[in-house]
Each structure stands twice: as C-alpha cells, then as structure tokens.
Amino acid sequence: MSVSPVDVPRGDRTGFFKYFRSDFQSGFLVFLIALPLCLGISLASGYPAIAGVFTAIIGGLLTPWISNSELTIKGPAAGLIVIALGAITEMKQIYGEELAYQVVLGVGVTAGILQIIFGLSRSGILGEFFPTSVVHGMLAAIGVIIISKQIHIAMGVMGVKGDPFELIAQIPKSFRSMNPEIALIGFVSLIILFVKPLIKNQYVRLIPAPLIVIMVAVPLGMYFDLTNEHTYSMGGQNFALGEKFLVSVPGNLFKAVTFPDFRGLTSFAGWKWVFLFALIGTLESLLSAKAVDSLDPWKRKTNMNRDLLAIGVANTAAAAIGGLPMISEIVRSKANVDNGGRTRYANMYHGFFLLAFVAILPGLIHRIPLAALSAMLVFTGFRLASPREFQNVFQTGKEQLFIFISTLLGVLATDLLVGVGIGIAVKFTIHILNGVPLRSLFKPFLDIQKQADGTTLISAHGSAVFSNWIPFKRQIEQIGLVQRTNLTIDLSDTRLVDHSVMEKLHELQEEFEREGLKLELVGLENHQKLSSHEFAARRRSAV
C-alpha cells in the first residue's frame, strides 16, 4: 500500500479527533473479545478472575501514552499462563494458600521494573536473538499445556492436577466421569469456536466468536440453574451443579484490588520467576508487536524500546493492584486491525469499555460458565499447537522440525526456560554439524566497501546465523537505513545462512523498499537449500 506520510494515521492530537469513530468502534469490538479471554486466562493462571481485567484496563489506559505502537492491544495472554500458574503453584508450597497470590504480585512488580530497565537500556533488539523454530516450539508447548489443563474443566471435572504428560493421560478418565450438563456447555462452545471461522456469511463474520460463545453459554447456564446448588441424575449417576461452575467476581471492583507482598524476593524461587516473567513476557511481547507491524496496512514501525518501556510501566502498575502480567497480545491486536482500528486510541477505548463494564455490571460476569471460558482456552491452545504449525515448520526444513519438536518436548518435560535452552542447544549442534566455524557462532565477520555507484557492499564470512544476527543487523540498519544507502550483501563466503537469518533478511528487504532503498542479496548460487521453502537454510556446497 503506497501512501504519503500525510495520509498515515498517527496517535497524536489530530489523530485522536480525526479517527475517533474508527478507533472507538474497533475498541468496543475488541472489548467484546477481550473480556471473556481476560477472565479465562486469569482463572487458568491461578489468579482471581478479575485480575486479567485489571491488566487489560491498565494496558489500555496507560500504554498508549508511552508506546508508539499504533495497533497493538495490551493485556494478559495465554502464552504467559504457564509461567503465572507455575509461580502461583510454587509460592503456595513455600508461603501457603493465603499469601501465594500477593507474593506473586510482588514478583510481577519486580519483573515490570526489570522490563522498564530493558526498555531504557534499548534491549528491544533482544527479540531478534531467538530462532524462529525455537519460539514456535515454545508456543506450541504452551498450547499443549493449556489444552491439557483446560479440557478437564470444559467437561466439568475440577481439580485435576499433574504435569502436562499426566494431565494428558487423565483426559480419557475425565471424559468418562464428565458432568454432562457442564460438558454440553463446553462442547457447544468448542463447536462454535471451530465452526464460526468456516461460515462465510458477512453478518455472522462481524460477530466475534467469543461473544457468540458467551451469548449461548450464559443462557445454557441459566437453564441448568447453575446459581443454585442442586443435583441431577443421568444414566444412573448423580451429578452436582452450583456456583463453583460459574465465574466468581466481587460485587465491588475496589474490593478486588490486592496489593503485592515482596517477601518472595528473599528466595531463589522468587527471583527465578521474576526473570521468567520478564524474559518470556518481553520475548512474546516483542514478537507480537513485530507481527502486528507486518499486518499494519500503513506499515508503521513500532519502536520496540518504547513499547517495552510501556509494557514494563504497565506491568508494574498492574501487579501493584492485583493484575496478571501483560504483553502486546496478537489475537486482540489482529482483531483491532480487522475491525478498522487506526491509532493507539483503539487500545485506550478497549480499556475504557472494560473498566466501565466491570464497574457497572460485575453481576453479569458471574453468569458466565467456567466451561465456556475453558473452551476458549482449549481453542487458543489448539491454534498454538495445531497440526498446521508442525506442517509449516517442516516445510522450512527437516532440521527446523527437529529443533521445534526438541523445544516442545523440552518445555513439556521440564519448564519454559530449560525447554527453550534445549531448543537453542539443538540449533547450535546442528549448525556445528553443518560446518559453522565456532568463532563465527556469535560474531559476524564483515567487510564493508563503498562501491563506485554509491552502493555499499557488505561481505559476510564464516556464517550468518541467529546467534550473530544482532550485530549483523545493526550494521545493515546503520549503513543502509540511517545513512540512506543502497546495500548489497555478499554471502558467498559463508558456510551457512540459517532459516532465521534468511527470514529476517527478507523482512529487511521489505523495510528498505518501503524507505525507497534497495537491499540486494548475492553469493548464494553455490549454497544448497536444505528444503524447498523460500527462507530455507543455505549450506555452501563443497567445492
């Protein structure tokens, strides 16, 4: 899309008034999607249901004034459920049921401060380090964990515990002992979520799937009289129903505010979760913001350091009153793009609508069946770990699938940090087996020459891989985008150009084109592609 700078929407004073209608409408539609997801993510994380709503409210009302990201929606995300629940579970073991939540809030405040430091120290580029296949493997593992936990609740079987493999093994047992009326709500919700994207009717497509789920699940819950404790019989068995199958929220928003307890910072466990919250949250947020930039019709570019600073400030504020950790969330951000959001004020309006709803109508939230929220999370988990994800990774190369599966299994068997470390270690091993010199694993060896036609030639030696990409990228951006110079990158003397670098070079080519510049890649004629994919890794053939 070619537009003049004057035509590009900006979240300034002029944009506030000029795009009010588009942003207000999109903010309202995103709010309809965000409310049930915030509640479900909170409960799945072991937090009170209202905690996720607090986070989205602060993300909406605070971050637009710090970040320049025009289309991202800030709030709690399914990708952080595993960390939040892990922290709650471990703190319960150390400090007991009553203090665990407040102690984890103290961890959240500290992690937010660490993210502020990341932003101020211009660490936004760290998101460029992690290999694509490792990140997707981590997200797929998170999807499997979410499904393994939430499918039981969707069937009305509460209190199932264990590690991911144990939870998966218990699914048949939960299926046999499911509460039929609760399971009906869960299964109907899942059917809606899976079938709705297949419906081509333009009017149906306008209604967010989570809203349809709530519109169906709440009446079903009322029909089954879930607000009153009672039993019913089916197939010769008795089943209990009652308010434990509904979302529990306080009648007064201010009574739900909970303040942090910082005693967790005196233990190794507390600091472990601080760094997990900060590092994984930062990585997911940076990747999401980058993905949303690629969806932006006006190709506006987020300043990742400012966005990270905004996330840190908002996370500190959210945890200080009882909220979940937040990121730039991809599902709601895409909905914002699809619904015609123009500037960052759409995020603000979505936060305003959430605040108004929980302040005025908290009783309606109590009518939402937990099975419906769990079904939404099962659907989210399926999207993270769908067979299509495996297929897409396989198409980029067999070695990428091996890294992907190694990361996935590593996370399931251990935890997020160790699993990601396993994936990166496997990636390094494959690079070394492919002949990458050890000295070029972390340092790019570059020769820079000014050509007679004004073009700058950058010749790379050794390798161009994910672990040496950050300094490589800085050189490209400094010479090309900052100094406004056309570049030619010669990769003929590299032993290996990995998939992550091929993908990122392609992204830079598009960015150069948008800036009216040219970035040309040469010297890959003697490199063998490891798959037929456009961004497949290239290994130099033996001469």
Whether 317 and 225 map to the same domain: the answer is: yes
Helices (H) and strands (E) in the chain, counts: 22, 10
Q: How confident is the model at residue 1 (pLDDT cuts 50, 70, 90)?
A: very low
Whether 335 and 453 map to the same domain: the answer is: no
Q: What's the pTM?
A: 0.90
Whether 185 and 306 map to the same domain: the answer is: yes
Whether 374 and 444 map to the same domain: the answer is: no
**Does residue 395 form part of some domain?**
no
Report, as an integer, the average pLDDT of 464-492. 95
Helix intervals (H) in 121-196: 132-154, 164-169, 171-176, 180-195
**Of 362, 378, 394, the domain-final residue:** 378
**Does residue 233 form part of some domain?**
yes
Whether 290 and 159 map to the same domain: the answer is: yes
How far, in whole angstroms, is CA 272 from its chain's centroid? 20
Whether 194 and 275 map to the same domain: the answer is: yes
Predicted local distance difference test score (pLDDT) of residue 152: 97
Report, as an integer, the average pLDDT of 336-361. 94
- Above 70 in pLDDT, residue 257? yes
For β-strands 487-497 and 456-464, DSSP reports them as parallel
Predicted local distance difference test score (pLDDT) of residue 5: 53
Percent of the chain with pLDDT over 70: 99
Q: How confident is the model at residue 448 (pLDDT cuts 50, 70, 90)?
A: very high
Of 509, 208, 174, the residue nearest 379 (C-alpha): 208
**Does residue 359 form part of some domain?**
yes
Q: How confident is the model at residue 267 (pLDDT cuts 50, 70, 90)?
A: very high
Return the number of other C-beta atoms located less than 10 Å from residue 409's C-beta.
17
**Of 332, 349, 378, the domain-final residue:** 378
Predicted local distance difference test score (pLDDT) of residue 299: 86
**Does residue 163 form part of some domain?**
yes
**Does residue 410 form part of some domain?**
no
- Above 80 in pLDDT, residue 480? yes
- Above 90 in pLDDT, residue 30? yes
- Above 90 in pLDDT, residue 28? yes
Whether 151 and 292 map to the same domain: the answer is: yes
**Does residue 228 form part of some domain?**
yes
Whether 347 and 476 map to the same domain: the answer is: no
Whether 444 and 371 map to the same domain: the answer is: no
For residue 95, count CB atoms less than 10 angstroms from its CB and return exposed for 0-12, middle for 13-18, buried for 19 or more.
Answer: buried
Whether 305 and 449 map to the same domain: the answer is: no
Range of the domain at 479: 438-540
Give Cα separations from 399 to 384, 427, 431 (angstroms). 20, 8, 10
Q: What is the pLDDT of residues 310-337, one digit of tens each?
A: 999 999 999 999 999 999 998 899 999 9
**Of 378, 393, 412, the domain-final residue:** 378
Mean pLDDT of the chain: 93
294 touches 504 (CB < 8 A): no
Whether 476 and 368 map to the same domain: the answer is: no
**Does residue 387 form part of some domain?**
no
- Above 50 in pLDDT, residue 210? yes
CATH at residue 448: 3.30.750.24
**Does residue 176 form part of some domain?**
yes
Whether 288 and 172 map to the same domain: the answer is: yes
346 touches 336 (CB < 8 A): yes
- For the chain, what is the domain count? 2
Q: How confident is the model at residue 6 (pLDDT cuts 50, 70, 90)?
A: low
